[in-house]
Amino acid sequence: MLDRALKSLWERRVPHYIGVYLAVCWGVLEFVDWLVNRYVLSPYLTDAVLLGLVTLVPSVLLVAFNHGKPGKDEIVRSEKIGVPVNLLASALILGLTFGGKDLGAATTMVTVEDEEGNTVERVVPKEEFRKRFALFPFDNESGDTAFDWLQYGVPFALTSDLYQDMFIDVRSFQHLRDRLRESGQPSGLGVPLGLKRKIASDLHLDRFVTGTIGAVDGEIVVSYAIHDLQGRNQGEHTFTATSVFDVADSISAQLKHDLELPARHIEETVDVPVSEVLTNSVDAFRHYVEGGIAVLVHDDWEAAGLSYESAVAIDPTFAEAQHDLYAVYFVSNRASLGVKPLQAAMASLYRLPERTQLLVKSSYYSMREEHEKAYAVLKMWTELYPDDIDGHRQMAHVYIEIKGDNDAGIRELAKILELDPSQYEILNQIGDVYEGQAIFDSALVYYQLYAERFPEEAESFRRIGGLYSNLGDLQQAKKVTEKALLLEPGDIGTLVAAGTIERDLANYDDALALYDDAMASARTAEDRATVFQALVDYYEYRGEINRSVEYWELRLAEVEKYAPPALAVTQHLGTVIMFVEAGRPDAARQRLDSLKQQLASPPWNMLIPIGEFGMYLRLEEPDSAEKAVEGIEAMIETLDAKVLLPLAVKGRAGVHELRGEYREAIARYEEAFALDPTSYSLNTDIGRCFRKLGELDTAADRLEQRLQQRPRDPEAHHELALVFSDRGEDDRAREHLESALAVWDNADPVFKPAREAREKLAELDAR
């Protein structure tokens, strides 16, 4: 039977036709592959053609079987039905497989205007075709500590080289540092392969690269391997050279082939040697790398500055080092010294890849307070490279954190998701912005989208818990947060959030126990600072101001271990306010005078009015407070920092209230509430002003709104007690005073609200 079937197939020349078809398929695939590489087309095109040819095999077999014999043949019924059905099935399979894929060009042309109004055109890759991977520090296996710096130096140089290629999106140590620290691997060295894979997966990357450093006869021997997210090795190579720059160039060239970039793109893309991008001096580069290690591993900004200074002293045209030196000067409260290196970076801008050039130019215009030009450069980045998510990240930061334009910020974040749906962390960021605008339904949608995608992560459930807390549904907040704790029992943020919910539920022992658990789980200075901040808030909430100040000082000690010097100093502005609340006004003035000396140079000196306003408001000195508010408004104007407008408006309201101008104060408080709709404590301020105007029903309504969101808020209960007392409803007043004092049961004698509440309760009891 089998012999007859095979003989029949041979007589009908079916194997002959199949052989011819396979030869034609091979030729077609070779031609399509040539087209893809020659014209930088979608790599999916080759796969689509291959699948199409494979799915048409049934038709080829059918036609060959029916018409393979010599002589004239008629079209039979099986062909009339089979071939169309096969074609339809093939089209359906292709549609299902490649319907969402771009089968056209892998690049696109964009035309934009730069900050000077000049027209610029570029051909850039579409985001779908960029290769995304994590690049970890390499491990020194040479046994020679003289090569230790190369553990970071080779990846640093490689990153700078690869940054020239828009098809490549590399996440280097600076992007991985926080994840490594959270995992107890702050140096990034000797990290287990499984942890590297997890970090790459958590960042939703496609691959990760590892490597080792060795030495033979004084030469550098570097091996690297590229892995997929299952940890499988997708390529491994070893290079030997006398220079770190030669090694980086060699790895870069090979890595592009490992990543399967289009051949024509590799051939025609300008790939400047990394020594031309950075510096020709190995000594200068080594100092630069040591500066990066000082910042990224040790949080030592002073050492970083010294290393960068040494690097640019050797090679003043080392533009990237000049820019980083400017950044260190800026965050070290030496911004005036940063002018010269930033100008030097601009003078050597030609050395840098275009995207780095745009970043340097943005810094330059910001330094000159030409903010519109700085924004124009970032906008140019997003238009010139519309599929480059880094540019959209920068613009989102500007809109949300500086200009206070949340809608524009959300559009930029949404664009990132549109370009790369695997950027799942953007879902939570969009949720955060919506929550800050009190658009809770939209916030919840984005948090839930992330939670559905990553049901084993605590982060989204913690955020959802915080959202319910904002809504005043503390029981639901507790339930969701407990779910987050089951997923990640030692997560610092979740433990702190759970503790704060227990505090708001008046479960004070449980709250402190959770804060203790968080401190026991803390691995880094950032973790400890987070827990200390929770304790600051806890004791301030309960009126134990001196305990709150103690924890504030402990928090500052941790912040100084990791934060840039200028940012660490600015944190002390909060100390000024806390000293006043603790009944230590002289200490507050002394601290403020010290901060004025430490923050004497722009732009950091512009922050001083924030501390001044807080101090003078609590000292009830309206004229001085008003002058401080004017300083805040001037800072907003100079820095274009519209995100601070709610603070300035609230400041104006506070000044009006001190002067007894309660109508004006209410109008300003309402304006501040509109700008920052989750500042629910403003209801207490507004209610207090209405009470002072004698409009007791309206006052009660606003205070009740505050209690709906935070049912045990002691300040709102205190104010509402005064409203009921003015109404002559002593029993209800007594009830609210007791609620306030239940929170303030151990408040410091110096804490004015608790003292006044006790005095008022005694007055009512004496009636």
Which is more confidently placed, 529 or 233? 529
Domain edge (last residue) among 256, 277, 298: 277
Tokens of 151: 């553990």
Residue 208 above 80 pLDDT? yes
User: Higher model confidence: residue 203 or residue 139?
Assistant: 139
The tokens of 400 are what? 């949300």
Q: Is residue 476 part of a domain?
A: no
The residue among 283, 289, 218, 224 whose CA lies nearest residue 250 is 224
One-letter identity of residue 281: S
Specify the number of domains making up the chain: 2
Model pLDDT, residue 64: 62
| pLDDT tens-digit map of 740-766 | 999 999 999 999 999 999 999 998 887
Long-range contacts of 147-152 (CB under 8 A, 24+ apart): 147/213, 147/215, 147/220, 149/286, 149/289, 149/290, 149/293, 150/213, 150/220, 150/222, 150/244, 151/189, 151/213, 152/289, 152/292, 152/293
pLDDT of 112 = 53
Backbone dihedral region of 69: left (phi > 0), alpha (psi from -120 to 50 degrees) or beta? beta
Decide the pairing of beta strands 139-140 and 207-216. Answer: parallel
pLDDT for the residue 747: 95
Report CA-CA distances (Å) from 216 to 61, 220, 247, 309, 410.
60, 7, 14, 32, 53
Residues 69 and 130 both lie in one domain: no
Same domain, 196 and 57: no
If residue 579 lies in a helix (H) or strand (E), which one and from where to where? helix 573-581
Position 78 confidence tier, pLDDT thresholds 50, 70, 90: low
**Which residue from 334, 227, 346, 763 is spatially nearest to 566, judged by alpha carbons?**
334
d(CA 239, CA 529): 44
The three-state secondary structure class of 317 is coil
> Could you tell me if 80 and 140 lie in one domain?
no
Alpha-helical segments (H) within 173-260: 173-182, 193-202, 244-258
Q: So what's the pLDDT on residue 592?
A: 93
What is the extent of the structural domain holding 41?
A: 2-98
The per-residue b/e assignment along 469-492, b for 16 or more CB within 10 angstroms, e otherwise, is bbbbebeebbebbebbbebbeebb
- Looking at the structure, do residues 193 and 246 belong to the same domain, yes or no? yes
What distances in angstroms separate CA 561 from CA 526, 529, 556, 565, 663, one per listed residue? Answer: 9, 10, 9, 9, 46
**pLDDT per residue as tens digits for the range 435-467:** 999 999 999 999 999 988 888 888 889 999 999
Report the share of the chain in percent with pLDDT over 70. 83
Task: Decide: residue 250, CB within 10 A, 0-12 exposed, 13-18 middle, 19+ buried.
Answer: middle
Instruction: Burial-class residue 267 by CB neighbours within 10 Å (0-12, 13-18, 19+).
Output: exposed
Tell me which amino acid residue 506 is.
Answer: A
Domain termination site, one of 98, 117, 137: 98
Residue 164 lies in a domain: yes
Residue 409 · residue 396 · CB < 8 Å: yes
Question: What does the pLDDT read at residue 415?
Answer: 85
Indicate whether 139 and 245 sit together in one domain: yes
The C-alpha atoms of residue 305 and residue 290 are separated, in whole angstroms, by: 10
Give the tokens for residue 545.
């101001």
User: Taking residues 116-129, what's their average pLDDT?
Assistant: 57
Per-position b or e across 312-334, b if 16+ CB within 10 A of its CB: bebbbbbbbbbbbbbbbbbbbbe
pLDDT above 80: residue 103: no
- Whether 142 and 249 share a structural domain: yes
Has residue 209 been placed in a domain? yes
User: 66: burial class by Cβ within 10 Å (0-12, 13-18, 19+)?
Assistant: middle
- Does residue 266 lie within any of the structural domains? yes
Domain-embedded: residue 595: no
- Mean pLDDT, rounded, of the chain: 86
Is 212 a domain residue? Answer: yes
Q: How far apart are CA 478 and CA 590, in angstroms?
A: 42
What is the average per-residue pLDDT within 592-614? 91
Mean pLDDT of 420-433: 84
| CATH number where 182 lies | 3.40.50.10070
Q: Could you report the per-residue pLDDT of 671-708, keeping only the tens digit for each?
A: 999 999 999 999 999 999 999 999 999 999 999 999 99
Which residues contact residue 211 at a Cβ distance below 8 angstroms, ignoring those fewer than 6 apart?
136, 138, 139, 154, 155, 222, 223, 224, 225
Note the pLDDT of residue 422: 65
- Indicate if 139 and 48 belong to the same structural domain: no
What pLDDT, on the 0 to 100 scale, is given for residue 132? 83
Residue 387 has pLDDT above 90, yes or no: no
C-alpha distances in Å from residue 304, one per residue of 213, 291, 295: 24, 4, 6
Q: Is residue 238 part of a domain?
A: yes
Indicate whether 181 and 272 sit together in one domain. yes
Q: Which residues contact 406 (CB under 8 A, 6 or more apart)?
A: 399, 400, 433, 436, 437
Rounded CA gap, 689 and 669, in Å?
10
Residue 68 lies inside a defined structural domain of this protein: yes
pLDDT exceeds cutoff 90 at 388: no
Band the pLDDT of 114: cuts 50, 70, 90.
Answer: low
Residue 223 · residue 150 · CB < 8 Å: no
Asked which of 81-85, 205-209, 386-390, 731-735 is least confident by mean pLDDT, the reply is: 81-85
At 661, is the pLDDT very low, low, confident or very high (cuts 50, 70, 90)? very high
What per-residue confidence (pLDDT) applies to 498?
96
How far apart, in whole angstroms, are the C-alpha atoms of residue 139 and residue 530?
Answer: 32
This prediction has a pTM of 0.77
Long-range contacts of 338-342 (CB under 8 A, 24+ apart): 338/367, 339/367, 341/312, 342/367
Tell me: pLDDT of 71 over 60.
no
What is the band of 7 on the pLDDT scale with cuts at 50, 70, 90?
A: low
Give the chain's length: 767
Q: 220 and 86 share a domain?
A: no
Place of tokens 């300040």: 715
Residue 614 one-letter amino acid:
G
Local confidence band at 66 (pLDDT 50, 70, 90 cut-offs): low
pLDDT band at 123 (very low <50, low <70, confident <90, very high): low
What's the distance, CA 695 to chain centroid? 46
Q: Is the pLDDT of residue 85 over 60?
A: yes
For the segment 97-106, the average pLDDT, to the nearest whole number, is 59
Cβ neighbours of residue 309 under 8 Å, at least 6 residues apart?
Answer: 325
Do 29 and 130 sit in the same domain of this protein?
A: no
Integer Cα distance of 84 and 61 in angstroms: 14
Q: Which of 277, 305, 340 is the last residue of a domain?
A: 277
Same domain, 264 and 148: yes
140 and 93 part of one domain: no
533 vs 10 pLDDT, higher one = 533
Q: Provide DSSP, 143-174.
A: S-GGGTTHHHHHHHHHHHHHTT-TTEEEE-HH
pLDDT, average across residues 537-548: 96
User: Which range has the worst mean pLDDT, 149-163, 362-376, 678-692, 724-738?
Assistant: 362-376
pLDDT of 122 > 60? The answer is no
Token pair recorded at residue 612: 């001044």
